[in-house]
Structure 1
Amino acid sequence: MTVSDRYRTSWEGFWEQSSGEQGEPFWDSDPALTARRDLEHLAPYADPTLPVADLGCGNGTQTRFLSGRFTAAVGVDLSAAAVAHARRADPGGAATYEQLNLADPAQTGALHERLGDTNVYMRAVLHQSDPEDRPAVAAAVALLVGTHGKALILEPTGQAKAVIAAIAARPGGPSPRLRRVMENDLRPGEVAEGEVAALLRAAGLTVLDEGATALAMSDTGPDGSPVELPARWFVVGRL
């Protein structure tokens, strides 16, 4: 299975136009507000001696942080331009990065063969995936964690659309960060309530824990605080 040409072209175009600098993309917030906080949910379940795979790594901001918490870290992204940015931002090689289509089980299987069972960090990838690709993305998570790994999945809820709409409706129009998302046809997709858990269970995974959270963006509100999208987190694995 392969992702749609529209989806691939949109992401490649976005990252080709990007400088790759941390904080430039709308969602690329400081790891202190994202991966560091997120790992509090995963840590009680994950074996830190296993590697971690950051799925949809973009320019690698979160991957570099994760590399200091696990024995090894690999960031994967559909976009070749994103992977190139991630490699340039990590000259010391704290992590490794590669282009990978999560909807292609052959590619995901090859990654699992190289890594073995791995922990997974996936932040806001399912909602950006075309609906027909979401079961394959969930299956990719299941394949990568194998028997011993655990995954942390974070996805915005339907209420996130209202937050984004409010930003777009500000005087003067959308912020430059959000405008670039819209110009590249990166559509924030709505994941229905219960859909994420259902997809993960259908892939053979057990939801070990879950809860409400907020995804911090690099954009800020009028008071200077980070924009936050309502979201849910799920820790999954095999019992």
Structure 2
Amino acid sequence: MSAPVRTGDTARLVARVAALSLHRPRHPDRRWDDFWRGVSQGSLTEPIIWDAAGAGHEETRNHLQTMADLMDTSLPVIDLGCGNGAISRQLADLFPSVLGVDVSPGAVAAAGSAHARIPGLSFRSLDATRPADAAGLAQEIGDANVFVRGVFHVLSRRRQAGLAASVEALLGAGGRIYLVETNVPGGALSYLRRLGATGDRIPGPLRQAISALPKPGHFGARQRSRVFPASRWTLVAEGSTFLTTVPMEPGGRPGSIPAYWAVLGRRPPGGFARP
């Protein structure tokens, strides 16, 4: 693509994204509940863009293997930002109990309906960016592991700090967090182009996400070190991976988004987290 053509395509793509973004609710929590309500009521008909890492999928297998290697799997696990519970269901094959938590009551209702009667699996609506709410949950269930997929990268810095404080409360002395987050090189347009967006056309699942959900961002090692500072956290392991998206076209292949993963434990005051 020549430079003038590329510039023109970029301008058209920016205009399309801006027009779609006008439909987003302003409050971030409203976005999630409106989204899940739209999914359950049928007004949002495109596949959910991140909802591809189901049972047996390579991405899910990688998550479960890493957690089995680096976490105490005798502890329960909390899936923060569980959405419709698709990965929460897979975690139930590894951990004795799984609690899926989401800020959206609509998501929790959908998850409970889709995964009813799975032993050890339950769901609850809770804003995990509010540490006081998480502290109450921690008192209820005791030490736990935490799983987070694709949540930190859409939060403001203030809400990232709140979520990290909640995680700290939930882990207790023995739990660890496994996080995996979008980490696409370049800006937002690089993310969109990777999923097939052009100035002339944006694929349906991506178009739906732009109009309904928060803007994606980066969350790699630099952001992790800011949100989980070494004074309070021990980094157990980290690396590069990918997040799977649904096919952008009917009958197409799933998409793949560059991502970052890390496992961390709390650093006790004056001491070190266990290796």
Mapped to 2, the partners of 1:187 and 1:172 lie a distance apart of 20
Shift of 1:217: 1.2
After superposition, the C-alpha distances for 1:84-141 in whole angstroms (9 at most, x for unaligned) are 1000001214410011111111210111112111111101100111222111111111
Mapped to 1, the partners of 2:251 and 2:109 lie a distance apart of 34
Shift in CA distance, 20/107, structure 1 to aligned 2, threshold 3 Å: farther
Partner of residue 28, structure 1 = 51
1:38-117 residue pairs with structure 2 within 5 A? 38-94=63-119, 95-117=121-143
Shift of 1:222: 9.5
Mapped to 2, the partners of 1:226 and 1:237 lie a distance apart of 33
Q: List structure 1 segments (4+ residues) > 4 angstroms apart after TM superposition.
A: 220-223
After superposition, the C-alpha distances for 1:190-219 in whole angstroms (9 at most, x for unaligned) are 346501132122682211000010111123
Mapped to 2, the partners of 1:85 and 1:222 lie a distance apart of 24
Maintained 8 Å contact 1:12/1:79 = yes
Does the residue aligned with 2:96 lie in a helix, a strand or coil?
coil
Mapped to 2, the partners of 1:223 and 1:25 lie a distance apart of 15
- Point out where structure 1 has 5 or more consecutive residues left out of the alignment: none
The partner residue of 2:36 within 15, 19, 22 is 15
1:1-239 residue pairs with structure 2 within 5 A? 6-19=27-40, 24-31=47-54, 32-94=57-119, 95-159=121-185, 161=188, 162-167=190-195, 169-170=197-198, 173-191=201-219, 194-201=222-229, 204-220=232-248, 224-238=252-266, 239=273
Aligned identity (percent) is: 30
Q: Partner amino acid for 2:49?
A: F
Mapped to 2, the partners of 1:47 and 1:20 lie a distance apart of 39
Maintained 8 Å contact 1:33/1:216 = no
Q: Which has the larger radius of gyration?
A: 2
- Point out where structure 2 has 5 or more consecutive residues left out of the alignment: 1-24, 267-272
Does the residue aligned with 1:19 lie in a helix, a strand or coil?
helix
How much is the aligned-residue C-alpha RMSD, in angstroms? 2.5
Maintained 8 Å contact 1:52/1:73 = yes
